[in-house]
Homo-oligomer: A and B are copies of this chain.
Amino acid sequence: MIKEMVHRLREMLLFLFLAIFSKATGVKAYSRGGVIQESAAYCLSWRLAVETNNVRAWRTVPSQCLRYVEAYMLGGQYERDLNLIVDQILSYVNGIVPSSDGMDAWILDVDDTCISNVFYYRGKRYGCDPYDPAGFRAWALKGGCPAIPAILGLFEYLVQSGFKVFLVTGRDQETLGQVTIDNLHNQGFIGYERIILSIDFVVDMLKLMPSQLCIFSDAIRMAYDIPWICNLLVLSISNRTAEFIGQSAVAYKSEIRRQLEKEGYRIWGNVGDQWSDLQGECLGNRTFKLPNPMYFVP
C-alpha cells in the first residue's frame, strides 16, 4: 500500500518535473478550454522535419508558424544554431593540414549562407507567402543583404588558413552578378578564389534554339570566361526537361563541383542553407547544413 503510494508520488513528481522543465526546452503545450494547444510544439517539429529533409518541396511556411519563425530568426536561436555549426566546422578545419599546392578548396553558398535575406522575408511573412521571383530580384538588386556574422568569420578563417573559397550561387550572372559581387565585397567577403553564378538568360535563349547549342555555347564561353560553361549549358537544358524538373539546383551545383575537381581542387567542405546545395555528386569531404526555415529551393 505504502509502496504503491510512493510509486504514484514518484510518477507525479516526474510528471511535474517534466511539465515545468518542458517549458524551458521548447516542449511547450498549454491547455485552453480542455484542448491541448500545440502550435509552438508543432512548429518546432515542423522546423526539425524541414532541417532534416524529411519535409521536401514545401512551398510556404505553415501560416500557424509565422510568429514562431519570426521569433526563431530574430530572437537569437537562429544565431545560436549557426554558431554551434560554425564551431563544428572550425574544429573540422583545424584537423586539416592544407597542402602547399593551393588546391584545398571550400564551397560556400551565397543567399542565407554568406549574406542574409531575412529582412526581405520579413515582408513576405517569413515565408508564409509564396515565392515571388520579381520581388526577390528587386530586393537583390538593392545589394543590401547583410553578412551573416558567423559565416563571415568562418570565411575569413578559411581564407587566412590557405583554403581557396568558391562562392556558388543560383543567382543569375547577367542581371545580378555585379550587384551580388559588390554586396559581398561591402559586407567583407574579400579574398575568395572565384564566384560562380547561374546563367539564366542563356538558358532561356537556348530553349528557343536548342539545335544551335554548341556554336552558341562557344560564343558564350568566350564572353563569360567560364571554362566549363558548355557543360553547364547542356546540363541546364536537360534539367528543363520534365524528368529533371525539381532537381535543377542539385544537378547544376553538382556539375560545378565536378568541374572544380577536374581542375584538381580537393573540396574539403561544402556549406549551404539548402539540401540542394549538399546533395548530388562531388559533394566534398564534408557537408554542413545551415538552418533556413523560410524557403525551400528544389
Contacts and interface: CB of A to CB of B under 8 A. Distances in A.
A137 interface: no
Contact of A26 (B19, B26, B52, B70): B26
A216 interface: no
Given A27-B76, A41-B80, A81-B49, A54 B22 contact: no
Most buried by B among A25, A41, A51, A72: A25
Given A18-B71, A81-B45, A40 B24 contact: yes
A269 to B, nearest CB: 11
Contact of A75 (B25, B54, B291): B25
B18 A84 contact: no
Kindly report how many copies of this chain are found in the complex they form together.
2
Interface in A17-34: 18-19, 21-29
Contacts of A24: 28, 40, 71
Contact of A51 (B19, B38, B48): B48
A139 interface: no
Most buried by B among A18, A67, A83, A291: A18
Most buried by B among A43, A54, A77: A54
B77 A18 contact: no
Given A52-B52, A81-B49, A84-B49, A71 B27 contact: yes
B289 A45 contact: no
A49 B81 CA distance: 7
Given A22-B77, A77-B22, A88-B54, A27 B288 contact: no
A289 B80 contact: no
B49 A48 contact: no
A41 B79 CA distance: 11
A21 B76 contact: no
Contacts of A19: 75
Contact of A48 (B22, B41, B48, B54): B48
A25 to B, nearest CB: 5
Nearest to A65: B25
B76 A45 contact: no
A265 interface: no
A151 to B, nearest CB: 14
A289 B25 contact: no
Given A25-B75, A27-B76, A54-B85, 11 more contacts: A21-B68, A22-B76, A25-B28, A25-B72, A26-B40, A26-B44, A26-B77, A27-B71, A42-B84, A49-B84, A51-B52
